[in-house]
Amino acid sequence: MRLTRRQAVGGMAATAFLPTLPARAAGPQTLTAQVSDMQLLPDEYGRTTIWGYDGTMPGPEIRVSKGGRVQREFINQLPQATSIHWHGVRIDNQMDGVSGLTQSAIAPNERFVYDFKVPDAGTYWFHAHNRSVEQVARGLYGALIVEETTPPDIDQEDVLILDDWLVDTATGQIDNDFDAMHDRSHAGRNGNFIATNGVGGFSKSAKQNERRRLRIINAANARIFELRLDGMEGWVLALDGMPLNKPEPFGDYLLLGPGQRADVFVDITAETGEVAHLVSMIDDRAFAQVRFNVTGEASKTRRSIPAPLESNSTPNVALQDAIQLDLTMEGGAMGRLRSASLDGKRESFRSLISKGQFWAFNGAVGRMENGPLAQLERGEHVRLKIRNDTVFPHAMHLHGMHFQEVSESGQLGPFRDTTLVFGNQTREIAFVADNPGKWLLHCHMLSHAASGMTTQIEVV
């Protein structure tokens, strides 16, 4: 039989081409959650066992451009089921990574392909979202950076993930009492070893007059970082990934609750041989969170005030058309909660405590299983009044959509995905429910989320 010319060429091409094919069919890159260890504490404590993505803490940075796509074949090599939440991304609901709500938890040795588009530029992060109170505390998080189409004018960029680790100083290991009653009923799990990107006393070298973009992420279980600048002048350009209309001078301090991020542009004003600092106030004492050792001069003069970052296309709320929702938070130590319903049954606070539950949303212990706080039509404009009737601050995080804080006078603030509500404070937020699915709304103080501060909003 004679081959036609087409068949011959096809055959030749195949044999000529085959050896150059990659050994493995090109699938998505993998990301593996695994038990690992690292030198977290000073050397004399030895290495600390952590859980990390690809065995590192923080996990590998994921960086894409605005409008790009993130694809990872996730492999769970942990002894526990897990999932990954892409915090702050206006994502497709099935990819939101909430075990028990948007997907089932990925069992040990199982895989799951995360594949989604990132509509907005900004500083985001990813973290475990099954038994987060344990898994995040063990180190399962990393930065997700979405770059602007038009890059801002800077000299350097620093991704700074802040955390406070609760370690047992006798063993040098992470304290494994993740469900401690005191943490659940009080301010949450606060650590005793402060680090940036897993390094205590993180330092970098810098130049006088250079402009650096600090992408600051608070990955702590519960700590609210109070940040100050020393030896540099700064402006806040974005909060929770979303650009401000106009850069705000940094001012005296910036509060960053768990889950929150800030993009701060700083000009190094310290001189050669000096050290500029990102300072955090820990128990009223200044702590050098990050040191910038100034080793020279980038230029003779400084730049002018930074221009705003290119904006994202987050929808603005029309307050006058918005429906009103209310969420009252009660409970915790020193609170007034006498009883609340748990799984449909009224129970005394004492009985709730015996079940490790301390908090209530609108009179019910807030759980993912409870059914939604609200069912909204797609596109509906919503204002949600969050009343904190407890003595503790809470960092309320809404998945899937960004909201704006509404001031007392009815002004809309910057877009955020996590808002700090202090003890006995009321905070109103507003958003357009434009992303269909079941979206978690919870306190990002992870011990609180595990003990009554979790609900969801459904957009149909």
Stretch that binds Cu ion, among 73-81, 134-142, 394-402, 419-427 (CB under 5 A): 394-402
Choose the stretch contacting Cu ion; rule: CB under 5 A; options: 6-14, 25-33, 391-399, 424-432: 391-399
Nearest distance in Å: CB 445, Cu ion = 4
Q: Strand, helix or coil at 249?
A: strand
- Phi-psi map region of 144: left, alpha, beta (phi>0 left; psi -120 to 50 alpha): beta
Of the pair 86, 112, the CB lying nearest ligand C2O is at 86
Residue 445's binding partner, choosing from ligand C2O, Cu ion, none, with beta-carbon cut-off 5 to 8 A by kind? Answer: Cu ion
Contacts with ligand C2O, 299-328, as mask; x by CB under 6 A:
------------------------------
| Consecutive H or E run containing 352 | helix 349-354
In the DSSP assignment, the letter for residue 282 is E
For ligand C2O, give the closer residue by CB, 127 or 381: 127
| Residue choice 443, 446, 457, 459 for contact with Cu ion (CB under 5 A) | 443
Alpha carbon distance 352, 112 (integer Å): 35
Please list every residue from 435 through 454 that binds ligand C2O, using CB under 6 A.
440, 442, 444
Q: Does 367 bind ligand C2O (CB under 6 A)?
A: no
Stretch that binds Cu ion, among 6-14, 109-117, 130-138, 438-446 (CB under 5 A): 438-446
Distance CA 431, CA 152 (A): 28
Task: State the maximum Cα–Cα separation within the chain, in Å, rounded to a whole number.
Answer: 91
- Closest to ligand C2O by CB, 125 vs 193, is 125
Residue whose Cβ sits closest to ligand C2O: 87
CB of 395 to Cu ion, least distance (A): 7
C-alpha 447/C-alpha 188 separation (Å) is 5
Write down the least CB distance from residue 47 to Cu ion, Å: 32
Choose, by CB under 5 A, the member of 87, 394, 416, 438 that binds Cu ion. 394
- By the 10 Å C-beta count (0-12 exposed, 13-18 middle, 19+ buried), 43 is classed as exposed
- For 142, phi then psi, to 5°, come to -165, 170
* Residue 443 binding: pick among ligand C2O, Cu ion, none (C-beta 5-8 Å cut-off by kind): Cu ion
Q: Residue-wise over 289-324: b if at least 16 C-beta within 10 A, else e?
A: bbbbebeeebeeeeeeebeebeebebbebeeeebee
Q: Residues 243-255, buried b or exposed e (16+ Cβ, 10 A)?
A: bbeebeebeeebe
Tell me if 448 contacts Cu ion by CB under 5 A: yes
SS3 10: helix
Site string for ligand C2O, 124-163 (x = CB under 6 A): ---x-x----------------------------------
| Per-residue mark of binding to ligand C2O, 256-275 (x: CB under 6 A) | ---x----------------
Q: What is the distance between the alpha carbons of residues 402 and 375, in angstroms, rounded to a whole number?
A: 17
Length of the chain: 460
Residues near ligand C2O (CB under 6 A) are 85, 87, 127, 129, 259, 397, 399, 440, 442, 444
Residues near Cu ion (CB under 5 A) are 394, 443, 445, 448
